[in-house]
Amino acid sequence: MIGEGATAQSIDEIIAGRFACREFSGAPVGRGTIEQILRVARFAPSGANIQPWHVYVLAGAAKDRVSAALREAHETARDEHVSEYSYYASDLPEPYLHRRQEFGRLFYGSLGVAQADIEARSRQTAKNYAFFGAPVGLIVAIDRRLQVGSWLDLGMFIQNVLLAAAGHGLQSCPQETFSRYDRILRPLLSIPAQQMVVCGISIGRARDETRGRLMPRADLAEFASFAGFDDQCATQMERTRPWEAETS
């Protein structure tokens, strides 16, 4: 039997080791593995247990057809397509604006792409629609008749998918940009009108298994407030966590 400490550490390592992979090896992932990932992810909490998610799973020729249609739309008619929901606030306040700008500098800098190079950035965006070379792609939808609380539930389900994939030695990338092309996806996947396309998820094995997280995370003091704990509890929270240095 695995001890409580070992179990907690393995969960911590899975969570902290997950990153948005944008370069997959293309090594195949079996349907059984994806089914198991989704079986585990369905245990995400949801208000009144309504489970407000639907997933369209793509692989092989079916994924290739979807990718081809999306890439053509992106290359020839991207201005004609817009997501049915707003992902970012139109006037992003601090510190969120700074973090978004930092993301742009780090991400495009790692690719050697100047932020002002619109065409190079567009070519990078186009890689989303090929699922970054991953063998499996998911399209995640939600019933549009539901309210914002159900989107919270959906987020927890999506995180479960990402972590369950990591537990199988796989990496993943959640991709909001698929929501932009819902008019392309609907006929290809028979998505009913009452469902809203929320995002895609690429799943597979990272091309470079040694590559870790690129984006920094805010320190605990920046987002958490504590009350009612004694000093002993605080000391226990400061225990050495070896995965922090590896994935920060």
Structure tokens at 108: 């495009």
Is 144:179 a contact under the CB 8 Å cutoff?
no
Residue 15 predicted with pLDDT over 70: yes
Q: What is the mean pLDDT of residues 149-178?
A: 97
Is 170:204 a contact under the CB 8 Å cutoff?
yes
Residue 118 predicted with pLDDT over 90: no
Compute the mean pLDDT over every residue in the chain, rounded to the nearest whole number. Answer: 90
Residue 178 predicted with pLDDT over 70: yes
Helix (H) or strand (E) run with residue 109 in it: helix 96-110
The pTM score is 0.88
Residue 246 predicted with pLDDT over 50: no
pLDDT (tens digit, 9 = 90+) per residue, 51-73?
999 999 999 999 999 999 999 99
Q: Hey, what amino acid is at 248?
A: S
**Topology annotation, domain 31-84+94-211:** NADH Oxidase (3.40.109)
CA distances from 94 to 72, 77, 88, 108, 182 (A): 36, 33, 13, 21, 31
- The pLDDT, as a whole number, for residue 2 is 45
In the chain, where are the structural domains located? Answer: 31-84+94-211
**Residue 1, SS3 per DSSP:** coil
Residue 207 predicted with pLDDT over 70: yes
Report the sign of the C-alpha dihedral through residues 115, 102, 204, 65, in that order. Answer: negative
